[in-house]
Amino acid sequence: MGLSWKERVFMTLLGAATASGLTVLVLILVEATYVLLPAHIKFGIVFDAGSSHTSLFVYQWPANKEKDTGVVSQALACQIEAGALSSGAVSGPGISSYASDPALAGESLRGCLEEALALIPKTQHQETPTFLGATAGMRLLRQKNSSQARDILAAVSQVLSEFPVDFWGARILDGQDEGAFAWITINYVLGMLIKYSFGEWILPEEGTQVGALDLGGASTQISFVPRGPILDQSTQATFLLYGANYRIYTHSHLCFGRDQMLSRLLARLAQDSQAALVRHPCYHSGYRVTQSLAPLYESPCVHFTAPMNFTQSLVVEGTGNPGACVAAIRGLFNFSSCKGREDCAFNGVYQPPVHGQFYAFSNFYYTFHFLNLTARQSLSTINATIWEFCRRPWKLSQVEANYPGQERWLPNYCASGLYILTLLLEGYGFSEDTWPGVQFQKQAGGMDIGWTLGYMLNLTGMIPAEAPTEGRAQSYSTWMAGVVFVVLTLVTILGAAAVQLFWPQD
């Protein structure tokens, strides 16, 4: 026998009330933070204006930060490639190369910035912090001609101020800042500052951080946490990140970047030769090139004067002698100033003894990657490989024909490889025992290694976090009150129906 219509109504109301009651129960059990809309994403833009090129990076992070520091990820990388501008000029070199026409320095940045703004929601353009940091190339130009450096920064600032962003300025970074921010970058992407584990963000164990080794075009930086106290306070950088304090040693050696090393080396050889023909031990035998001398002696890093018989050009001929090349490279350092001191690198610069793991990037990586030496080979294998490469003749398909597309830098890999060994071993004080702790990497954790991410992480500490807005909280409360009202109404109707069904009135 089927149910009567009263019983069917009752069962329907019972089901509705049960479902509504369960819904309320689930909502009560779930925290309100998970019911609110997802956290607002913030964006930041950083230009890395290096000595040889400029790159732009877009970073993003949730507004609800962790211990007052953003959990940042890279959203875009854009390198300013050489190409024709609307004026017919060529863009692409470092901004310091625009000393004769500063306006072009600013114009060269437009393409990448437009690409960045196409990625960022238009409603957030006005609140996106944008910063340009110039490194060693501009530090050298400031030494050489401070007014030209100011003009370039002014031109860059004028162009960037035209865009609808929160422009934080364009300035020349100190070498200490460049090294310290790179240290933050590496340790962050490796999970050495904060990491996600079992549903929460935690701080890693103290003392697990790695050191940073950067080799740019005009300078080189070393940054690490020493075992003991830092005795020279000018080499100390401190940070508060994710609620933890960090104290690191960092120093930048201006004029010891790869490009400036090559210029200083050639100038030294020309000085010793005092002739229009220079026999270069770091170039492969059979290699011969004629180059202008004027740019060589314009660098503030070159302290030699032009030879007495100075002409407009110099003929350079390779001899392929790695032993003589090492001797010439060692002449670029003042090692005697640190003799007998364990806390000294070279040129009298204070440095605590190195220890632990290090990441070597930029030109450290590019040089060793070309030589197939990034697989953590032994020091003896690396040394033998570089010497063997230096001894190869340039012609007869030994070098020139075997590396297509490498013509620009190919003659310099021998000098660069031997320079890296000299810098790391005799300069920074690595040994056969500590060498296995050095890794040559371009990226870490899938992100580019450099100072820009570290700068952005530090910057997030100055940008207020966004808690759920009052409007969102009110919407949540009103919505919950409405649900409760509907459920209570249904329960009341169900109770009335039950009374009518089972206790009918006479």
Residues serving a catalytic function are 178
Convert 388-447 into a string of H (helix), E (strand) and C (coil). HHHHCCCCCCCCHHHCCCCCCCHHHHHHHHHHHHHHHHHHCCCCCCCHHHEEECCEECCE
Take residue 215 and report the two structure tokens written for it.
């080799």
The structure tokens 């929160």 sit at 166
Distance separating alpha carbons of residues 213 and 215, to the nearest angstrom: 7
- Sorted by sequence, the CB contacts under 8 Å of residue 38 that are 6+ apart come out as none
Name the nearest CA neighbour of 386 among 363, 418, 355, 361.
418
The alpha carbon of 493 is separated from its chain's Cα centroid by a whole number of angstroms, namely 65
CB-CB neighbours of 231 under 10 Å:
12
Give the pair of three-digit tokens for residue 258.
């790869």
Cβ distance 219 to 255 under 8 Å?
A: yes
- How far apart, in Å, are the Cα atoms of 249 and each of 73, 224, 339, 496? 26, 5, 21, 78
- Give the burial string for 209-219 (b: 16+ CB within 10 Å, else e): bbbbbbbbbbb
Place of tokens 């080794």: 213
d(CA 118, CA 373): 39
Q: E-assigned strands of 210-365?
A: 211-215, 219-224, 236-241, 244-254, 277-280, 288-292, 313-318, 358-362
In contact, 430 and 364? CB cutoff 8 Å:
no
Phi/psi at 72 (nearest 5 deg)?
-95, 145
The two three-digit tokens of residue 109, written as one number: 């940045």
* Cα–Cα distance, 506 to 492 (Å, whole number): 22
CA distance 425 to 406: 27
Rounded to 10°, the helix 322-330/258-273 angle is 100
Distance CA 241, CA 261 (A): 35
Alpha-carbon span 282 to 420, nearest angstrom: 13
Cα gap 279→294, rounded to integer Å? 19
CA distances (Å), origin 252, targets 47, 215, 356: 20, 10, 20
* 3 state DSSP class of 418: helix
Phi and psi torsions of 42, nearest 5°: -100, 155
Q: How far apart are CA 204 and CA 194, in angstroms?
A: 6
